[in-house]
Chain A
Amino acid sequence: MNWFDFLLHNRGEVLQRTIEHIGLVSAAMGIALAIGLPLGVALVRRTRLQRWVLGAANVLQTIPSLALFGFLIPVPWIGGVGSSTAIVALALYALLPILRNTCTGIAGVDPAIIEAAQGMGMTPRQVLWGVQLPLAAPVLLAGIRVAAVICIGVTTIAAAIGAGGLGVFIFRGVAMVNNEVILAGAIPAALLAIFADLGLGLAQRRLAAR
């Protein structure tokens, strides 16, 4: 039996795991965006604090994912075995690219344009929403794209702490020493990553071309 037959045979479970996977990624990305975008905007003009926060996010990124899942299990409120712990860890991974690109994207907007906007009588809020964010949008979206791809990949490991997702097949396959089962998880996960990358890439090019 090759991996494709296995997929067909177990399409019910594959579909269910794929939906779980997308759910975990969406929840984590939602949290990362909700924290990363406003935090990035707030840090644009605070260069010293920005260095510290980006440094901390960088350190988080270097913690091996399996270890981070393990570390979070004993933490009260968010910890325990299951999807909530996984979502917190995934959000931490997705945070860095979003945060960094928000900071650099906004800082990269031509200062003459900002000055003109202020000089014409736009409020700081109008400058942010009307000028800085739209002009930084392609860079921001590039960060979201990287975060999404990382997140989809790391989510396969979340199965190790009982969060479900396509990683379930991978861990099961490893335990069974069965490549077909591993591929039944790995290939849909890879496809998800490719589609996310292509879709967000397209959106990014659309924005840049405006």
Chain B
Amino acid sequence: MNTEGTVVHKSDALECRRLGYQLTDGSQTKTLVSDLNLRIGQGETLVLLGRSGSGKTTTLKLLNRLLVPTSGEVFIGGKPAADLDPVQMRRGIGYVIQDAGLFPHWSVAKNVSLVPRLEHWPEEKIRARVDQMLELVGLPAAEFAERRPVELSGGQRQRVGVARALAADPPILLMDEPFGALDPVTRAELQKEFRILVSELKKTIVFVTHDLREALYLGTRITLLAEGRLVGTYSPEEFLQATSPEVRAFAASLHPENGNEAGHNAQR
């Protein structure tokens, strides 16, 4: 699939049709997302890229129904999400947020076991799965299983967040700036490991970020949002060559020194 048009329909893991979300507060209406069409193929990593307030996080929450769309529809595995039980549906969609959102009163192992426990897996299977997941994200169970989230570094917490989201082996993973709160060195480390993990696990991933570098590094396709609207969906190569002003503004953020130089030259 070299361009977005050639994605085979039947393999779509997620689809948005004319998705919209408005907040009404008294007489004021605020549109957070409007008229959004997206198709996300199985095993693909789609990055939702945009500035703060562009509607990325809102879109993500519309996908797992933490927010209920005010217009349009979401399809999950071809089925309208509105027809599914939201609680049951979410157990099949991993969810990772910034700073992980781990339960501070639970141990690492219990945090990771959350969804298998909700799904009433047998105790032995849960324990084996937790060990396996912690191993997968590079935290040996023997050392980390019984720790509390406060006893972990930011990077370790985020790893546990990923392990928790993957524990019940959901086919879809939603990630909301998962590496946003980390220092640059840890972030680069986690991005690298995550890329390897993704290539092994073949999950369908929707990844929200405002960092173009991250988008280019992790995304198979990049969807740019601006003010709640879709600017376009591009492969990483296409993105760097696209000419729309919103894309250019983002691409320019990769090389801030160029803009300054141009200014200097003009002055001279």
* A interface with B by C-beta (< 8 Å): 110, 112-113, 115-123, 126, 130-131, 134-135, 210
Contacts and interface: CB of A to CB of B under 8 A. Distances in A.
B118 A116 contact: no
Contact of B104 (A113, A119, A130): A113
Contact of B97 (A116, A122, A131): A116
Given A112-B99, A113-B101, A135-B104, A119 B64 contact: yes
B207 interface: no
Contact of A115 (B101, B114, B115): B101
A119 B86 CA distance: 9
A118 B90 contact: yes
Contact of B91 (A115, A121, A130): A121
Contact of A122 (B89, B92, B118): B118
The size bracket of the interface on B is 20 to 34
B99 A117 contact: no
8 contacts: A116-B101, A117-B103, A119-B101, A119-B174, A120-B90, A122-B87, A135-B104, A210-B105
B109 interface: no
B239 interface: no
Chain A interface helix/strand/loop/mixed: helix
Given A121-B88, A121-B115, 18 more contacts: A112-B99, A112-B101, A113-B102, A116-B100, A116-B101, A116-B103, A117-B101, A117-B103, A118-B90, A119-B90, A120-B95, A120-B118, A120-B164, A121-B89, A130-B103, A131-B103, A135-B103, A135-B105
Contacts of A126: 118
Contacts of B165: 120
A121 B97 contact: no
Contacts of A112: 97-99, 101
Contact of A120 (B98, B99, B105, B115): B115
Contact of B66 (A119, A123, A131): A119
Given A113-B104, A135-B104, A135-B105, A118 B66 contact: yes
Contacts of A123: 87
B91 A120 contact: yes
B66 A121 contact: no
Q: Which of A113, A117, A120 has the most CB of B within 10 A?
A: A120
Contacts of B98: 112
A7 B165 CA distance: 64
A113 B118 contact: no
Nearest to B60: A119
A126 to B, nearest CB: 7
Contacts of B114: 120, 122
B173 to A, nearest CB: 11
